[in-house]
Amino acid sequence: MKTNILKAKILSLFVALSLGLGLVAKASDEAHATEEKFDISHLIFHHIGDAHEWHFATIGHTHLSIDLPVILYSEDRGLEIFSFANLKKHNELEPQPVYNGYTTDHDGKIVSTEGRSFTNVSITKNVASLFLSVLILFGVFFSIAKSYKNRKGQAPKGIQSFFEPIIVFIRDEIAVPNIGKKHERFLPYLLTVFFFIWINNLLGLLPGGANLTGNIAVTFSLALITLIITVFSGNKDYWMHILWTPGIPMWLRPIMLPVELVGIFSKPFSLMIRLFANITAGHVIILSLLGLTFIFQSWMVGVAATIFSTVMSLLELFVAILQAYVFTLLSAMYFGQAVAEHEHHDDHH
Amino acid sequence: MNLVTPDFGLLFWQILTFLCVLIVLSKFAWKPIISGLKEREESIEQALSEAKKAKEEMTSLKADNEKLLAEARKERDKMLAEAQHTASAIIQEAKERSGKEAAALIQIAREEIETSKEAALAELKNYLADTSLHIAEKVIRKNLSTDAAQKDLIQDLIANPSSRN
């Protein structure tokens, strides 16, 4: 009985959303009949890219957005901090504003009008989302750590009992089988990277959320840290295996050495691309499905697109944890290879 | 902003923030969580092994008890058998002794009877002798009351000195 009511509610929500989208499409059709054509790729790239403002929604001509701080560093001027509001147009007809010799190009990127070179370390939408995710991580895991201290030896309770199986899974199913005895050294990194990726994947799925884990800079830095940990924890066996792979004929060595050396970097490179591509692709698919409504300008397409993008969103919820798991698992495997003890080289190959 | 070119600003913030998160969480979250988990797992394991040990102890105790009980039973049976044996031996002995005593008593009685009989017979003999002497005296007194008779007797005695009566 209850599930039926719930089903009915969800269905009516679907219909309302779909009709709503259709109506919006119709309205925009009428309002912007004379304006430029709807540019789906611009919309998608705007959504998955970074920005200096956090844009939530546009109602009519009112933009609901937060202007984020711009932080620039240049050798001649030092550190410059100002709000992005200074560089924003207040209506379409206004020319692009210039502030302190800075303006924005058509991609929304800050450029110097005088051709000066500077470093942009602004709190962009992605950085703000990153900070938000850090607050969530701290909030969640400090409270869990507190429960472990307060309820020593007792059964988990509340949020602790939700996260405990995941933590135990990462320890017993990812760290221990892949790394072995030395897993405790790597466990904090594996746990951090798993929950960091998962939480940011989920934040990215929220309406208006930033596409942080679908950003190449983020996946690059995560993969870089995995690479650094792997290289620095590599033992003699690991390096021997790369530089003087046991059990292969002499004439193969000149070929194998570069292959092995490339292998050091190709592993984290695959980590970087996999996470970036999976998350970005998910966002692109959902945005494309929703964009169909505006391309075809039909409420029928709106209904179908809403259903499909809901299904896709559910799939993305799964992908969010799956990619976190894959990244953690592969990192653990690389660490495991770096610290593995080969007792009998010749038997092994 | 290009999709596949890492943006320096984000890269900077990401690495900085992630390293901070890693250090802070490792120290203030993962350390207590992992040690708490380990502690709990160890205590559970310990409790389980203790329970197992207690169970084993119980079983061995039960076995011991049964063994003890069986031994006690055996002991009791043995004691009972011994007691029975002793009792029958005592009875046997008592019987034997009483038989002997009875026989001895009978013997004594018999001997006494014999002695009494003999005494009685002797007395009877004496009495008879006295009485017969008395009678003889009286008879003789009467027979020898005359001088002739006395002379006859003396004559007779002289003739047959060896015969008396």
All residues of chain A having their beta carbon less than 8 Å from the beta carbon of residue B35 are: 148
User: pLDDT at residue B52 above 60?
Assistant: yes
**SS3 (DSSP) at A59:** strand
Read off the pLDDT of each residue in B142-153 and give the average, rounded to a whole number.
79
Nearest CA in chain A to B32: A145
Please check whether residues A335 and A220 belong to one and the same domain: yes
Please check whether residues A151 and A298 belong to one and the same domain: yes
Residues A56/A65, Cβ–Cβ less than 8 Å? yes
ipTM of the complex: 0.82
Q: State whether A280 and B3 contact (CB < 8 Å).
A: yes
Number of structural domains (chain B) is 1
Which residue in the set B10, B24, B43 is minimally distant from A127, CB to CB?
B10
Q: What's the pLDDT score for residue A26?
A: 44
The answer as to whether B128 is a domain residue is yes
Measure in Å the smallest separation between the Cα of A307 and chain B Cα atoms: 28
Q: What is the DSSP letter of A246?
A: T
Question: Which region, left, alpha or beta, applies to residue A60 given φ > 0 means left and ψ of -120 to 50 means alpha?
Answer: left
pLDDT digits (tens, 9 = 90+) for A140-192: 999 999 988 888 877 888 888 999 999 999 999 999 999 988 898 999 999 99
Question: Which of A45, A123, A162, A216 is the best residue to mutate to test the B interface, defined by the most B CB atoms within 10 Å of its own CB?
Answer: A216
Please check whether residues A226 and A86 belong to one and the same domain: no
Least confident interval from A263-272, B73-82, B103-112, B141-150: B141-150
Measure in Å the smallest separation between the Cα of B56 and chain A Cα atoms: 25
User: pLDDT at residue B145 above 90?
Assistant: no
Q: What residue has token string 């017979």?
A: B121
Domain that holds residue A75: 63-123
Q: What is the CA radius of gyration of chain A?
A: 25
Please check whether residues A194 and A299 belong to one and the same domain: yes
Read off the pLDDT of each residue in A33-37 and give the average, rounded to a whole number.
49
CB atoms within 10 A of CB B21: 21
Q: What is the pTM of this model?
A: 0.74
Alpha-carbon distances, residue A271 vs A49, A326, B19, B70 (angstroms): 20, 9, 18, 72
Please check whether residues A166 and A226 belong to one and the same domain: yes
Band of pLDDT at residue A3, cut at 50, 70 and 90: low
Q: State whether B9 and A191 contact (CB < 8 Å).
A: no
User: pLDDT at residue A209 above 50?
Assistant: yes
Domain that holds residue B62: 37-159
Band of pLDDT at residue A22, cut at 50, 70 and 90: very low
Q: What's the pLDDT score for residue A17?
A: 53
Nearest CA in chain A to B2: A49
Nearest CA in chain B to A46: B1
The answer as to whether A190 is a domain residue is yes
Band of pLDDT at residue A25, cut at 50, 70 and 90: very low
Q: State whether B1 and A49 contact (CB < 8 Å).
A: yes
Least confident interval from A23-37, A86-100, A107-121, A165-179: A23-37
Q: What's the pLDDT score for residue A157?
A: 83
Q: State whether B22 and A107 contact (CB < 8 Å).
A: no
The answer as to whether B118 is a domain residue is yes
Query: Could you tell me which residues are beta bridge partners of residue A104?
Result: A110
pLDDT digits (tens, 9 = 90+) for A279-308: 999 999 998 998 888 888 888 888 999 999
Residues A324/A279, Cβ–Cβ less than 8 Å? no
Q: State whether A220 and B31 contact (CB < 8 Å).
A: no
Band of pLDDT at residue A348, cut at 50, 70 and 90: very low
Q: State whether A134 and B31 contact (CB < 8 Å).
A: no
Number of structural domains (chain A) is 2
The answer as to whether A6 is a domain residue is no
CA–CA separation, A230 and A182 (whole Å): 13
Q: State whether A109 and B26 contact (CB < 8 Å).
A: no
Band of pLDDT at residue A27, cut at 50, 70 and 90: very low
DSSP of chain B, one letter per residue?
--SSSPPHHHHHHHHHHHHHHHHHHIIIIIHHHHHHHHHHHHHHHHHHHHHHHHHHHHHHHHHHHHHHHHHHHHHHHHHHHHHHHHHHHHHHHHHHHHHHHHHHHHHHHHHHHHHHHHHHHHHHHHHHHHHHHHHHHHHHHHHTSSHHHHHHHHHHHHH-SS---
Q: What's the pLDDT score for residue A7?
A: 62
Q: What's the pLDDT score for residue A6?
A: 57
Q: State whether A50 and B10 contact (CB < 8 Å).
A: yes
Band of pLDDT at residue A115, cut at 50, 70 and 90: confident
CB atoms within 10 A of CB A45: 16
Residues A205/A52, Cβ–Cβ less than 8 Å? no
Q: What's the pLDDT score for residue B138?
A: 83
Residues B47/A225, Cβ–Cβ less than 8 Å? no
Q: Report residue A327 as tokens.
A: 């990244």
Q: Report residue A289 as tokens.
A: 């499905």
Band of pLDDT at residue A13, cut at 50, 70 and 90: low
pLDDT digits (tens, 9 = 90+) for B57-115: 999 999 999 999 999 999 999 999 999 999 999 999 999 999 999 999 999 999 999 99
Question: Quick one: CA dihedral A297, A299, A302, A304, positive or negative?
Answer: negative
Q: Can you state the angle between helices A299-339 and A236-243, rounded to 10 degrees? A: 100
Query: Could you tell me which residues are beta bridge partners of residue A99?
Result: A102
Please check whether residues A191 and A78 belong to one and the same domain: no
All residues of chain B having their beta carbon less than 8 Å from the beta carbon of residue A126 are: 10
User: pLDDT at residue A206 above 70?
Assistant: yes
Mean pLDDT computed over every residue of chain B: 88
Mean pLDDT computed over every residue of chain A: 84
The answer as to whether B136 is a domain residue is yes
Highest mean pLDDT among A48-57, A205-214, B130-139, B151-160: A205-214
The answer as to whether B164 is a domain residue is no
Q: What's the pLDDT score for residue A80?
A: 87
Q: How many CB pairs under 8 A join A and B?
A: 126
Please check whether residues A116 and A130 belong to one and the same domain: no
User: pLDDT at residue B133 above 80?
Assistant: yes
Task: Give the strand pairing for A69-74 and A53-59.
Answer: unpaired
**SS3 (DSSP) at A114:** coil
Highest mean pLDDT among A117-121, B2-6, B62-66: B62-66
User: Exposed/middle/buried for A223, CB within 10 Å: 0-12, 13-18, 19+?
Assistant: buried
Q: State whether B39 and A130 contact (CB < 8 Å).
A: no
DSSP of A151-186, one letter per residue?
TTTSPP-THHHHHHHHHHHIIIIIIHHHHGGGHHHH
The answer as to whether B84 is a domain residue is yes
Measure in Å the smallest separation between the Cα of A315 and chain B Cα atoms: 23
Which residue in the set B4, B10, B30 is minimally distant from A188, CB to CB?
B30
Which residue in the set A192, A217, A222 is minimally distant from B25, CB to CB?
A192
The answer as to whether A243 is a domain residue is yes
The answer as to whether B5 is a domain residue is no
User: pLDDT at residue A9 above 80?
Assistant: no
DSSP of A180-244, one letter per residue?
GGGHHHHHHHHHHHHHHHHHHHHHHHSTT----TTSHHHHHHHHHHHHHHHHHH--HHHHHHHHS
Q: What residue has token string 């490339």?
A: A262
Please check whether residues A199 and A234 belong to one and the same domain: yes
CA–CA separation, A235 and A343 (whole Å): 13
Band of pLDDT at residue A347, cut at 50, 70 and 90: very low
The answer as to whether B19 is a domain residue is no
The answer as to whether A18 is a domain residue is no
User: Exposed/middle/buried for A242, CB within 10 Å: 0-12, 13-18, 19+?
Assistant: middle
pLDDT digits (tens, 9 = 90+) for A76-98: 888 888 888 888 877 777 788 88
Q: What's the pLDDT score for residue A275?
A: 95
User: pLDDT at residue A45 above 90?
Assistant: no
Question: Which region, left, alpha or beta, applies to residue A50 given φ > 0 means left and ψ of -120 to 50 means alpha?
Answer: beta
Band of pLDDT at residue B30, cut at 50, 70 and 90: very high
Question: Which of A133, A218, A273 is the best residue to mutate to test the B interface, defined by the most B CB atoms within 10 Å of its own CB?
Answer: A218
Please check whether residues A95 and A138 belong to one and the same domain: no
Please check whether residues A110 and A136 belong to one and the same domain: no
Residues 6+ apart with CB under 8 A from A223: A268, A269, A271, A272
- Maximum distance among all Cα pairs of chain B, rounded to whole angstroms: 205
Nearest CA in chain A to B47: A153
**pLDDT top residue among A28 and A78:** A78
User: pLDDT at residue A318 above 90?
Assistant: yes
Q: State whether A120 and B18 contact (CB < 8 Å).
A: no
